[in-house]
Amino acid sequence: GGYESASKRFNPADVEVDVAGRSFLVTGANSGIGKATAKEIARRGGTVHLVCRNKERAEVAKEEIVTETGNQNIFLHIVDISNPKEIWKFAEKFQNEHKLNVLINNAGCMVNTRELTEDGLEKNFATNTLGTYIMTTALVPLLEKAADARVITVSSGGMLVQKLNVSDLQSENGPFDGTMVYAQNKRQQVVLTEQWAKAHRNIHFSVMHPGWADTPAVRSAMPDFYERMKNSLRTEAQGADTVLWLAVSPEATKLPSGLFFQDRQPVPTHLPLAYTHSPPEDEEKLMEVLEEFSQKFKSVSPR
């Protein structure tokens, strides 16, 4: 019932906004919170770029969004967010052809065994952290040119159990626990958002916890949790509510850039008495390492 009680204080007018003429890019947009967000933006007249990995599922999602909203300005881009070269290639092409006001980093994965991508990267890290980093930094120059530019990253409350660990970004040491690796990636996204907010003053950055929602990702990655909780999970639309609010509402940008949100309000990024705070040098180190990775894949000419 968390959503029901929280939503009592929501102002419906906050999201009753016409965003015609504004351009939004949503990663992982063919199901779950990504699709629900894309659909609500489309209803409000926005131009929506769906970035998805699976072409067939993405085409079905696009068709559904166009049919339900009547908005024809829905564009599809097939990109695997776990593949850094592909993201660079996409971002460079996108910058030449489109404008962008709002980037929504929603794509993510929770792989429960240690799998490597074709580039030799651990798959959760490649998708959740490095993919988010490259997509954002590659599109920052385009966002810098836009009015009221925003970047929203969909994280998770699970990150509250993790302290930033920059010494083992690819989970090479010790036993592999997919849930904890995911939570660590989600902590990294919070740190990224705080760092970006300091570096790029013309863009409003935010990161958020959607609450635990009944999405295909939760069903497949956390089957035991899903079975236990399925009667009290949020709907996809409820999970997407704060993403939408951060993306379209004039109220969202009245708050400082770099905050962590749940149910349309900023919440702490650490639990009371939890030893999850990290020293500034660790946060700087994370940015340095991701930048090195990112440049390494940028310089490789596409195969």
User: What is the set of active-site residues?
Assistant: 182
d(CA 190, CA 259): 8
Judge whether 31 and 57 are in contact, CB under 8 Å.
yes
From the list 104, 106, 190, 87, the residue with the least C-alpha distance to 150 is 104
Judge whether 169 and 119 are in contact, CB under 8 Å.
no
Domain residue ranges in the chain: 2-296
d(CA 289, CA 220): 31
Q: What is the pTM of this model?
A: 0.95
pLDDT in tens, 196-253: 999 999 999 999 999 877 777 777 777 787 678 777 788 889 999 999 999 999 999 9
Number of Cβ within 10 Å of residue 223's Cβ equals 11
190 has pLDDT over 50: yes
Which residues lie below 8 Å from residue 66, measured CB to CB, with a gap of 6+?
42, 72, 74
Q: Outline where DSSP puts E strands in the chain.
A: 23-27, 47-52, 74-78, 102-105, 149-154, 203-208, 259-262, 265-266
pLDDT in tens, 146-160: 999 999 999 999 999
How far is CA 267 from each of CA 156, 271, 272, rounded to the nearest angstrom? 12, 10, 12
Q: Is 3.40.50.720 the CATH number for 2-296?
A: yes
